[in-house]
Structure 1
């Protein structure tokens, strides 16, 4: 299915879709979800149809992966301490702006590799209904940014999956599934081919908004005003 298409459930309810490219370990993806929720609440207050959301995967640190698939800390990415100081400032500002009080501070969060979590989420997306996928996606994101859990730990992913009704053994198998890994890599490549270079990226009707933009920006993206 094209990443610009709504899911069947979205089509059936006639909701206008927005595609969101995201990586669990990106703080601005958590904050972007908070902004999107504010926008959807504001839309509901205006009695407008609900916006369908299609979550897509992105490997934020793919440029640092070695041939073995592991993230290499020795790969230079041009991000120095000044860069991370700016990230911390922006995260704190947006936490307050979007009322994201549950979010941990940037330095309190485990430095995780999100590949297995995204591969598990892809399996749930393919094998379960939309509500279950969304519940699992939210559970992983919140485990990382609200609870400081290690989402690159398989037992953690299994526990999170079981909490939303997914068979934990299926998650263990999914993370080891080489075919599924190839499908995930193909989705990462498709995102890059479509010009996605960072996350979150919101796409609607061929237009994109990059970063944890405020609800008013999402309104312009989706409504043109």
Structure 2
């Protein structure tokens, strides 16, 4: 990040539909700016409490969310799709039920190792799930996604590299530590956008992101 640029920290999980919609809202806001926005991404593992020892997701674990909650969430997703003009997003019933931890591990690795390629890679992971309906919990899918990401106009990310990283136990532990740190810092859900001392949670509209980052018409704490 550069010291004189506007900065935004985003906590997100690839399997959250509101994170995908929030990314699209962020893209719209960025398109209105004269200067680039420095975005710092932090993983947030929504399904950590449902993950079994072999990585399987057990949806029978009680997370305090009932059918009424999920129906309301579905309606909110459909409303925001229309509001933000996101016509290419799959119906929620058509999105594969997957564990995003391998994708978060791979994305964090790319952010550290090839920071200039991170946004392109992470956008591609989101699109693989929410537009193409691919299983981003599969290291082979992540490797395939990586092969399409250019590093300097001539080279691409190496699929074998990303495949190996996605299953690396040490990096898995690092993601878990980052998730725990986010919780201790007061992040309770995603997406959460943080700028300075203020935060906005949810797939908020571009105008609200503008107020959050630029301080237009006051803060936007939620």
What TM-score comes out, normalization by structure 1 length? Answer: 0.88
Q: Give the match for residue 189 of structure 2.
A: 198
Q: Give the match for residue 212 of structure 2.
A: 221
Q: Give the match for residue 142 of structure 2.
A: 157
**8 Å contact kept, 2:139–2:167:** no
Q: Give the match for residue 219 of structure 2.
A: none
Match of 2:106 among 96, 99, 120: 120
Q: Give the match for residue 22 of structure 1.
A: 12
What TM-score comes out, normalization by structure 2 length? Answer: 0.89
Q: Give the match for residue 145 of structure 1.
A: 130
Match of 1:102 among 73, 85, 88: 88
Q: Write the distance in 2 (CA, Å) between the matches of 1:86 and 1:208.
A: 23
Q: Write the distance in 2 (CA, Å) between the matches of 1:73 and 1:89.
A: 21
Aligned residues: 210
Considering only aligned residues, what root-mean-square deviation do their CA atoms show, in Å? Answer: 1.5
Q: Spell out, residue by residue over 1:75-94, the C-alpha distance to the aligned partner (whole angstroms, 9 max, x if none).
A: 11122222221111101110
Q: Write the distance in 2 (CA, Å) between the matches of 1:148 and 1:142.
A: 8
Q: Give the match for residue 134 of structure 1.
A: 119
Q: Give the match for residue 3 of structure 1.
A: none
Segments of structure 2 that go 5 or more residues without pairing to the other structure are 150-155, 217-222
What SS does the aligned partner of 1:95 have? helix
Q: Give the match for residue 64 of structure 1.
A: 50
After TM superposition, which residue ranges in structure 1, 4 or more long, deviate above 6 angstroms? none
Segments of structure 1 that go 5 or more residues without pairing to the other structure are 1-9
Q: Give the match for residue 161 of structure 2.
A: 170
Q: Give the match for residue 41 of structure 1.
A: 31
Q: 1:200 deviation in Å?
A: 0.2
Q: 1:67 deviation in Å?
A: 4.8
